[in-house]
Amino acid sequence: MAGATAFCDEVWARAAKLVRAIHEHPFNTELEAGTLDRDRFAFYIVQDSRYLIAFGKALATASTRATDVDEAAFFAQAAHTALVVERSLHAGYIEEFGLSAADLEGIVTSPTCLGYSSYLQATALAEPYPVLVAALLPCFWVYEDVGSAIFERTRDVEKHPYRAWINTYADPEFAASVERVKQIADRHAATAEPPVREAMTEAFLRATEYEWLFWDSAYRRETWPTAQWLS
């Protein structure tokens, strides 16, 4: 059986090309440059605020399913952070962009947002706890990886239009949370039966795919192609 620290090393290596594609996606390169179209970022913020509700619920479910008290406490706090702290970041941008309640209601939840949200909630309810941990990990790890990289390249840029977003995911406390989820994933993978460990790998890679899709859908301001037949 693989060592306790092998899982995260293994899945990160398998996802390396995808993670690089996330870094190189126009959404993130333009965000870094400060040239990302405000309408694209506004669309992203609205979709992400809706996604975070599902993410927070999945974290809360992880807390209730954890048999280790420290893990349960960590996921409970992470759920609170997702539903309160990160959503307050979104609220700040929504106010800055002057989006009204009517404006928000007029933005339909994208197929990708609904797909990612549904995937996490289904995993939370139907898969073994270690698989749920693996599915939750990319939203921590990929964001920290992207946010930290952008921060390092923009730390000297004054009045960056997306500074609040960058600082949130480059924050040392967020990095500590990422390390904690990685430790939890590694610990469970080390003792998991082969089918569960394989399911953990598949869940991590699928969620990482959704991370790319999420940024891509925001850049395209994705709509439902079937909407024309339902109006």
Give 80-139 pLDDT, tens digit per residue.
Answer: 988 887 777 777 887 887 877 777 777 899 999 999 999 999 999 999 999 999 999 999
Examine residue 230 and state whether it is found in any structural domain, yes or no.
Answer: no
* 54-65 confidence digits (pLDDT tens): 999 999 999 999
Please name the residue that has the structure tokens 């952070």.
Answer: 81
pLDDT in tens, 168-199: 999 999 999 999 999 999 999 999 999 999 99
Alpha-carbon 169 to chain mean position: 11
Say if residues 75 and 62 touch (Cβ distance below 8 Å): yes
pLDDT tens digits, one per residue of 19-29: 999 999 999 99
229 in a structural domain:
no
- Element housing 213 (H / E): helix 194-220
Domain holding 109, by residue range, is: 6-223
Is there a domain that residue 177 lies in?
yes
- Asked whether residue 42 is assigned to any structural domain, the reply reads yes
In a domain, 14, yes or no: yes
So what's the pLDDT on residue 2? Answer: 43
Compute the distance between CA of residue 103 and CA of residue 27 in angstroms, rounded to an integer: 22
Q: Cβ contacts of residue 63 below 8 Å, gap of 6+?
A: 71, 72, 73, 74, 75, 76, 79
Task: Report if residue 61 sits inside a domain.
Answer: yes
For residue 28, what are the contacts with CB-CB under 8 A and spacing of at least 6?
22, 146, 150, 215
In a domain, 197, yes or no: yes
Is 231 part of any domain? no
pLDDT at site 5: 55
Tell me how far apart the alpha carbons of residues 111 and 90 are, in angstroms, rounded to a whole number.
20
Number of structural domains in the chain:
1
> What is the model's pLDDT at position 151?
98
Question: What token pair was written down for 49?
Answer: 């605020």
DSSP 171: -
The angle formed by the CA atoms of residues 179, 53 and 73, to the nearest 5 degrees, is 40
CA-wise closest residue to 142 among 90, 197, 214: 214
Tell me the pLDDT band of 3, cut-offs 50, 70 and 90: very low
Q: The domain spanning residue 71 has which CATH number?
A: 1.20.910.10
